[in-house]
Structure 1
């Protein structure tokens, strides 16, 4: 709780991806795999003017989607995922993004981490903790887990972080890892958790 309280004073409890609807967040999360949020936001700014709904993406030519997202990494695979996801949403979910971890994580290009991220940030639902590379690294440095695999780390973190704070914890830890507790040369002097950190002298 102390960690969360301190981080809340330093960072906003939100993702850096721009979105207005759950579907826009879903698309942005797919595009953000191994890509900077800044670049994704630049692409989606134009993309969502052209394609507004799952039906729009489902009916579009794959090549047209590819051209619209060609500046992001692995754009061909991501275009395929987005078109497949959109078709599934239209056919199976009446064009709506499902609100369960099981259904979301079964969509093409969406794993458990992404599903957790979407559930909390789009719907305020806490079904798990989104453990990306930043959350994993910072959690290890803070001594919250020794696990190397995100799925195992998530299970440990879910036992010590109150359920109502799971999504918030992930959002805040992502920002801490991105801007202060970086992989190389962490900025100890800027860290609000410095005095709590068992790794500060390493």
Structure 2
């Protein structure tokens, strides 16, 4: 019986008519099986798997159009009884806490581009890419070593960063505003200076309405000695006005609207989304991240501006790592990979860092 089926299949493939019609009709003809009638009950139909038992009986058999039994059972089920499709579970990083030095850092939700979830884990993403896709083949070892060094050596950003500047007793909306203000003050300013300025502002009740109603001279006095404190006072006044008028004294919950606020650039906006809304929309690249990425050759070509560095890093760094890379590299840059006279002798990456050889040679 098997050879009959094979012969029919060969004949079917040589003709241009429908495969199912040709094969079913030839089978019926060669083994003298009555063709399916419209009135035949579904439970009386036989499937192709039942061919081997046809010879055992002379009773008429009605064959369904050639398909497997499993296919026919599914195809003839009412829609209400069809097997439900498994709900797709997007692998979004759940909010969790991780310890770095003496600080507890929030690991945030990932917000993918174009609303398409990236389901690759770090290991899977690294496996998909070839070595040619990464600017430096040692990048993952670099990162692991930086994690180890950061755990052993606390940095100012751990206790004085913008995520630590919000009043923990305030409501969530006010805390989000505090984090935004701290970021606006942090540009080209040490964490210690920003933290002290935030303490003075919070002592005056820091809200968009209070900033809006505060005299510019008084605001400048509270911000000093923050770098460019007069410009930053002006930006704070303008931003506070917008938040009162458009956002009910809250801050925007998306990167596009944050970037429209006076004095808010890409670095601030991406870090604000992470710290205030627990959503990762991009990598916040400040002077430390910019410098270290160039020193470690994490870029396909060297960059002069932080924004250029951000674009290159996001083009290859696995997205699940975006939530931690800013905090890791900022603290690393504050303690070991400093702007001037970096402590390469203390660095676990000194043997695999492109910049360490020249630095160590100068110290000899």
TM-score after normalising by structure 2? 0.52
What is the match of residue 31 of structure 2?
Answer: none
Contact 1:140 1:147 in 2 (8 A): yes
State the alpha-carbon separation in 1 of the partners of residues 348 and 272 from structure 2. 27
What is the distance in 2 between the residues matched to 1:195 and 1:19? Answer: 37
Q: Please state if 1:89 is matched with 2:243.
A: yes
Deviates more, 1:77-86 or 1:55-64: 55-64
- Residue from 54, 61, 66 that aligns with 2:215: 61
How far apart are the structure 2 equivalents of 1:171 and 1:151? 17
Is the 8 Å Cα contact of residues 117 and 167 (structure 1) preserved in structure 2?
no
SS of alignment partner, residue 212 of structure 2:
helix
- Tell me, which stretches of 5 or more residues in structure 2 are unaligned? 1-139, 152-156, 167-174, 359-364
**Distance (whole Å) between structure 1 residues aligned to residue 348 and residue 244 of structure 2:** 45
1:23 aligns with 2:177: yes
C-alpha displacement of 1:101: 1.3
Residue 287 (structure 2) aligned to one of 126, 129, 133: 133
Aligned to 2:145: 6
**Structure with greater proportional strand content:** 2
Report the aligned-residue RMSD: 1.9
- Partner Cα separation in structure 1 for residue 307 and residue 272 of structure 2: 17
Q: Does 1:183 align with 2:328?
A: no
Give the structure, 1 or 2, with the largest relative contact order (CA under 8 Å, sep 6 or more). 1
Distance 1:5 1:122 in 2: 27
Which of 154, 158, 183 is matched with 2:314 structurally?
A: 158
Deviation, structure 1 residue 144: 0.5
4+ runs deviating over 4 angstroms: 12-15
What is the aligned partner in structure 1 of residue 328 from structure 2? 172
TM-score by length of 1: 0.91
| Larger of the two Rg values belongs to structure | 2
Q: Quick check: which one's helix share is greater?
A: 1
Aligned mates of 2:242, 2:287 — CA distance in 1: 29
Identify which of 16, 34, 45 aligns with 2:188.
Answer: 34
Q: Distance in 2 between matches of 1:196 and 1:22?
A: 40
The whole-number CA distance in structure 1 between the counterparts of 2:189 and 2:261 is 20
**Deviation digits for residues 39-75 of structure 1 (CA, Å, limit 9, x no counterpart):** 1111211211203211111122222211211222221
Aligned residue pairs, count:
202
In structure 1, C-alpha distance between the alignment counterparts of 2:223 and 2:304, rounded to whole Å: 32
Contact kept in structure 1, 2:165 and 2:178, CA below 8 Å: yes
Q: Which runs of 5+ in 1 are unaligned?
A: none
- Pick one of 285, 298, 301 that aligns with 1:144: 298
Deviation at 1:19, TM superposition (A): 1.8
